Each structure stands twice: as structure tokens, then as C-alpha cells.
Amino acid sequence: MNRNATIAGLGTALPPSAVQTDLWENFFSHHYTGTRRALAKRIFENSGVRTRQAAVSPLLEDVSNWSTEQRMRRYQVEAIPLGKEAVSRALAGAGIAASDLGLFAVCSCTGYATPGLDILLARDLGMSPSVQRLFVGHMGCYAALPGLGAAADFVTARQQPALLLCAELTSLHLQPAAVRTDFQQIVSHALFSDAAAAVALTPGGPGLVVQDVAAVTDTTTADHMTWEVTDLGFRMGLSAQVPAVLELHVRKLVDDLLNRNGLTIGDVDGWAVHPGGPKILDVVQARLGLDDSALAASREVLSAYGNCSSPTVLLVLDALRRRAAPPRRVVMLAFGPGLTLYGTLLLQSPV
């Protein structure tokens, strides 16, 4: 009998969306001149993003010069209902009550407060006072996968349900105009978006089992991706060399993960790859020798939702699960500061 951690429910929640061209024409384009404006326009047009979400849209409210304190206060206001919606949908999909959970894990790098989302949502949703809680912060775009691994380990060891929530509000970290002309900030403002996604895990039952997790961190390139706390929000550092680092490591990470489970790349029928940007997806596709259909879900999520940091890979997994013929062997891949690559293998339960 399968007693491993199974993904029994997955729920998402999205703030209002905006069209990428509207964001460019009605806000961002006003902050560039000359060659910088032409460069920024090309970056926005080639981002692979068609629409994306913002809890605090610059079309309605410019937070560029807000203090970090102001942004953190707004984070609580916006993140709680968004997280509550995603968690409620995941629980409903799994057919379990909030009071059944033994562990509640939260990933977020875009806001901090105490009591945090883990405490406030546990209270508001009726989780047990004895529920264990885990908060994963500042891991960035790959946080969902170590979070999923920790929750799965709990379920397997304790034979109790667990829930993972990833909630990010990148829109709160719009940088001041004086900083915004930096190349790395242009890329960041062209890609990032807001979302929440939650996964409910149960011991056994039908669904995708969290089979294995793998990671590699190249500390020699630690400065290639950063997320710094400043007096005016959190500032993204994003080197153009990131795809080259992923190109160096991603094939071995995937091969090692699959080989120790008796599989090869050809055995995988579902790829949930974090769409950090078009170039990242291009590199992963080329290094793994995948056809266009393999990364179609990742590109569709990037186009429709943007890069939402930690929830994004779960949005891709949700898209795969909703297909008419859902995959039975899934590899999830996500990347972030460190530079760090994470991979997770999901296998259809035999039950």
C-alpha cells in the first residue's frame, strides 16, 4: 500500500491582471528616454509575458517611493486573502479540513511580519492549535520545491496531512525611477508578477507522489541573482549570465535525479519548469533535448501569469494536472539565488 506523500489537492489565487502592453505604454514607458527607452521596450516586448497580475498595480497606485515599512504593512493586507483563497481551494480539492493538517508550511520572499501568514491563516482557517508550522523565506523562485520536499517528508514520517502555501507580491517592490533605468531592474519589472498557490499532501491515496528531491548550488555565482532589502523595498539583482550557469548544471541535476529512480529523460511525460524568462526555458529545453511540447505549459504560464516567483512552478504543475491526459511521471525544476537549482520527481500513485 502506498503510504508516501501524495499531492491530493492544488489551489491557486490570482490578483487582478493587466496586459503587458498597457503596463508598458501607460506606466513604464514614461520613465525612460533615448536609447534606454528603446532597450526597455525591447525587453518588455521579448519577455514572453502577455498578461500578469498585481495586487498593487502601478496603473492604479505607484508605490515606487514607499518605504519598506509601508510595503510590508500592505503585504499583510493583500497576502492574507490571497493565501486564504489558495489554501481553501487546495483543501477542497483534497477533501480534507484545515483542522486535519499536521503541518502548515509557507514560502514567501516578498513580505515579512510577525505574526506571519502561517499564524494568521492557521487561525482564520480553523487549523488546530497544535498544527506545526514552517516558514521558508528569501529562497526566491525555487522555494516551492524545498518546501514541497519538507512537507512530503513530514507526511511520510508522521502519516498526517500537510499543506504548502507559496504567496508572493512582487508588485510591492517597484523601484524608484532613479533606480529603474538599471538593466537588471528593467528585466525584473518586465517579468515579475503576483500569485498564490497551495498544495495539500496526504499519506497515500490517488495522485502524484513526491518521489524524490535533488538540489545543486553553485556558490561561485552567488552574486548572479540577489534580493536585497533596501529602505525602498526589496531590490532584484539579476545577471545576464544566469542562463549560462543553468546550462552548466541542469542536465546533470536531472540525470542524477532520474537515474537513482531507474528512469531516463525519455520516461518523463510531464515537465513543470519554472519560467524565469524565455532564455531560461530555451536553455533548459536545449540541454535536456526536449521538444517544444514538453515546455508548452511553462511557456503558457509565463505568457498568461508572468514570473510569480515561488508559486510559478506550482502554476505550471496545475496546468499539467488539468490536461485531458495528465502526466504520470513529472519532473519539476526551479531556480533561484545561490545560484541554486532544485528538481523534484513526481510519480503517479499505483493506488
- The pLDDT, as a whole number, for residue 2 is 64
- The pLDDT, as a whole number, for residue 188 is 96
Residue 180's pLDDT band (cuts 50, 70, 90) = confident
* 200 within 8 A of 10, measured Cβ to Cβ: yes
- The pLDDT, as a whole number, for residue 171 is 98
Pairwise CA distance, residues 165 & 125, whole Å: 13
* 327 within 8 A of 209, measured Cβ to Cβ: no
Rounded mean pLDDT, 307-312: 98
Cα 126 versus chain centre, distance? 26
Q: Could you read off the pLDDT of 145-173 as tens digits, one per residue?
A: 999 999 999 999 999 999 999 999 999 99
Mention every residue, 6+ apart, whose C-beta is less than 8 A from residue 266. Answer: none
Pairwise CA distance, residues 142 & 210, whole Å: 16
Rounded mean pLDDT, 294-301: 98
Domain parsing of the chain, residue ranges: 5-203, 208-348
Pairwise CA distance, residues 62 & 180, whole Å: 13
Global pTM reads 0.97
Residue 141 annotated in active site: yes
Q: Which residue is it, cell 503517479?
A: 348
Output 226 or 1, whichever has higher pLDDT: 226
Q: Could you read off the pLDDT of 267-289 as tens digits, one per residue?
A: 999 999 999 999 999 999 999 99
Domain boundaries 5-203, CATH class: alpha beta
Mention every residue, 6+ apart, whose C-beta is less than 8 A from residue 173. Answer: 71, 110, 233, 234, 235, 236
* Average predicted confidence (pLDDT) for the chain: 96
Strand order in the sheet with 5-13: 132-137, 103-108, 162-169, 194-203, 5-13, 208-217, 340-348, 329-336, 270-273
Q: What percent of the chain has pLDDT over 90?
A: 95
Residue 181's pLDDT band (cuts 50, 70, 90) = confident
Query: End-to-end CA distance of the chain, in Å?
Result: 7
- The pLDDT, as a whole number, for residue 3 is 76
CATH fold group of domain 208-348: Peroxisomal Thiolase; Chain A, domain 1 (3.40.47)
Identical fold, 5-203 and 208-348: yes
CA pseudo-torsion sign 152, 154, 155, 157: positive
Q: Could you read off the pLDDT of 36-85 as tens digits, one per residue?
A: 999 999 999 999 999 999 999 999 999 999 999 999 999 999 999 999 99
Residue 341's pLDDT band (cuts 50, 70, 90) = very high
- The pLDDT, as a whole number, for residue 1 is 53
Q: Which region, left, alpha or beta, applies to residue 299 given φ > 0 means left and ψ of -120 to 50 means alpha?
A: alpha
Rounded mean pLDDT, 235-249: 95
Select which of 107, 109, 141, 308 is catalytic.
Answer: 141
Pairwise CA distance, residues 345 & 150, whole Å: 14
